[in-house]
Amino acid sequence: MNIQTLLESKVKEGFLTLFETTLPSVEFQTTRKDFEGDITVVVFPMLRYKKGNPAQIGEILGEFLIKNVHEVNAYNVVKGFLNLVIDDKVYLKSFNSIQTQDHFGFSQKSKNVVMVEYSSPNTNKPLHLGHVRNNLLGYSVAEILKASGNKVYKTQIINDRGIHICKSMLAWEKFGNSETPTSTGIKGDSLVGKYYVKFNDVYKKEISTLTAEGMSEEEAKKQAPILLEAQQMLLKWEAGESKTVALWKMMNSWVYDGFEITYKNLGVDFDTLYYESNTYLLGKDVIEDGINREIFFKKEDGSVWCDLTDEGLDEKLVLRSDGTAVYMTQDIGTAIQRVKDHSDINGMVYTVGNEQDYHFKVLFLILKKLGFSWAKHLYHLSYGMVDLPSGKMKSREGTVVDADELMKEMTDTAKNISQELGKLDGYSEEEKSNLYRIIGLGALKYFILKVDPKKRILFDPKASVDFQGNTGPFIQYTYARIQSILRKATFDFSQEVDPSVLSLDIKEKELIKQLELYPDTIQQAADNYSPALIANYTYDLVKEFNSFYQNVSILGESNEIKKILRVQLASKVAEVIKSAFNLLGIQVPNRM
């Protein structure tokens, strides 16, 4: 039984004994640093069950706990807060338990089976900064869900068909002179993206020409010759015309090769892949079944709709009048197909930007109406956009921040700052290069993941690579500092410290209390689908360690038992930093 569970039981017992009233629950919080104590009992909620002065009720309960709980050494009351000072032995026993756990913080209980979808790019351009946030969030949430005891499948649906794909194909066919990634040395996705931009340049010129000849802009946008050609190409693809399909396969293969490099450099992976070219017809049979069950209804023009007005939404189109599918049809079918492919799935997480909030609200409601039990375990991991100081990105105009270029810029920024600090004497060029990459990517990932997913981010590359403050490099540097301490600790520090022979320094106690929060933090991060909780917990742990490091001697401590404890504390802090950063997809260097 941990101390909080024990205290909850005793507070309830005391309340019943002292006030002859049953208390259903007890609210705890960490004692504020400006007051003496370790755990605080919040008295205010108790006033619902016992009227009176909260400070007086706190005093009466404090006296009861002192007499009946030997782990409580002292108490003080500040207004409606009962601050309890807990015996050092409690924290030493707790740390000894933490010490022996190889995967401390991870749940060993088997829970749900969840599929997490992220990335899901179009095959007409490289991944950009927006995709970076998507990938980092999806990958990290998948890892956090695993750590909290879930089985997880990571997946993406690749948007490999449609008019936008045909635009790149047509522009390459017209202007590409048969160039390839091999002949140009250009990464495949970047080469295809170049022709998406080329299409748009030609399209805008044609619109300008048509409007100059007297056509309205709206009509010119529809009648531009290159757009009409792209629409014809899409019809050929849908008809299975061999030349068009061969071109589609060739250019998509270039993009997949390029994506693979980006994913590897970003440090994300997938267990299963879905392709829109295989899924765009899924869902049509489900719609037909839904019509028979009166979940959907047909309008006079033959189009099929779902009436969601009872849920405060509107009517939603699920099949066009000509019988063709819309995105909603496809998403309904794909969700059902995924559960068929992985029969153990009982939940899904969709990592998609907040501009699709309404779409997913409708999708989940329709799947519930269709009677799928797993539909109540669907979650839209909605996130805000990433902005740059230079303004909004537009891929069709070639103004996006390419993910590969961003990662290179981050590595270069880390290199420049590290060289200015001059801390890399004795490193080989290969070691330096690897370290710059670890620091640069760590800075990028931490800067993005420390922010609540729902918030918009203004990303500043240079500010993220800072060795002070709430940044990835600051935490990485603390980890490397601890590794230096451990290399110098040439004695055996593996033996368990006997709680009965040692009292704790306040800094030791605070560090143990911070370590104790890690398992709950993982569970909260999983429950809220929020890597930000892990990131900011790690920063708090590092701040606590640095305060400990600055205020007590570790290797210079004369008391051997105390020295062993302090090295053990440092070692466990490093282990938790590495564990937490793994959940964020961030590496930690042994030297910096």
DSSP output for 322-375: TS-B-HHHHHHHHHHHHHHHSTT--EEEEEEEGGGHHHHHHHHHHHHHTT-GGG
Please determine, for residue 592, whether its predicted confidence score (pLDDT) is greater than 90: no
Alpha-carbon torsion, ordered 350, 354, 358, 360, to 10 deg: 0
Confidence band for 506, pLDDT divided at 50, 70 and 90? very high
Long-range contacts (CB closer than 8 Å, 24 or more residues apart) made by 426-430: 427/591
How confident is the prediction for the chain on average, in pLDDT? 94
Q: Is 201 exposed, middle or buried (0-12, 13-18, 19+ CB in 10 A)?
A: middle
Fold (topology level) of 3-86: Gyrase A; domain 2 (3.30.1360)
Angle between helix axes 225-238 and 188-212 (nearest 10 degrees) is: 130
Query: What is the predicted pLDDT for the residue at 391?
Result: 52
pLDDT at residue 378 greater than cutoff 70:
yes
Give the per-residue pLDDT at 460. 83
Tell me: the pLDDT tens digits for 103-114?
A: 999 998 888 999
Which residues are within 8 A (CB) of 396 and not within 5 positions of it... i.e. 6 or more apart?
196, 197, 200
User: Can you state the angle between helices 129-147 and 242-266, rounded to 10 degrees?
Assistant: 60
> Residue 159 forms beta bridges with which residues?
122
According to CATH, the superfamily of the domain at 410-583 is Isoleucyl-tRNA Synthetase; Domain 1 (1.10.730.10)
| Mean per-residue pLDDT, 263-269 | 97
What's the start-to-end Cα distance of the chain, in Å?
Answer: 41
State whether the Cα torsion 405-408-412-413 is positive or negative.
positive
Q: Which is nearest to 197 in space by CA: 11, 25, 398?
A: 398
What is the pLDDT at residue 420? 81
- For residue 436, give Cα distances in angstroms to 16, 226, 367, 501: 61, 45, 47, 45
pLDDT at 558: 94
Is pLDDT at 14 greater than 50 in this prediction? yes
Which of 375, 363, 591 lies closest to 483, judged by CA?
Answer: 591
How many helices (H) and strands (E) in the chain? 22, 14
Tell me the C-alpha distance between 587 and 442, whole Å: 7
Average pLDDT over residues 475-489: 97
**pLDDT grade, residue 466 (50/70/90)?**
confident
The total of other beta-carbon atoms located within 10 Å of residue 87's CB is 19
Each residue's pLDDT tens digit, 388-430 = 776 544 444 445 788 999 999 999 999 988 888 777 778 899 9
Q: Residue 272's pLDDT band (boundaries 50, 70, 90)?
A: very high
pLDDT digits (tens, 9 = 90+) for 562-589: 999 999 999 999 999 999 999 999 999 9
Q: pLDDT at position 461, please?
A: 80
**Rounded Cα gap, residues 583 and 577, in angstroms:** 10
* Residue whose structure tokens are 């909290």: 148
Query: What residue segments make up the domains of the chain, in order of their start?
Result: 3-86, 162-269, 410-583
Helix, coil or strand: residue 110:
coil
pLDDT band at 325 (very low <50, low <70, confident <90, very high): confident
pTM score of the predicted model: 0.92
Among 24, 34, 52, 95, which Cα is nearest to 570's? 95
pLDDT reading at 82 higher than 70 = yes
222 to 150, 158, 194, 322: CA distances (angstroms): 49, 27, 23, 21
In angstroms, rounded to a whole number, what is the distance separating the alpha carbons of residues 430 and 516?
38
pLDDT of residue 397: 47
Residues 6+ apart with CB under 8 A from 464: 410, 443, 444, 446, 447, 471, 472
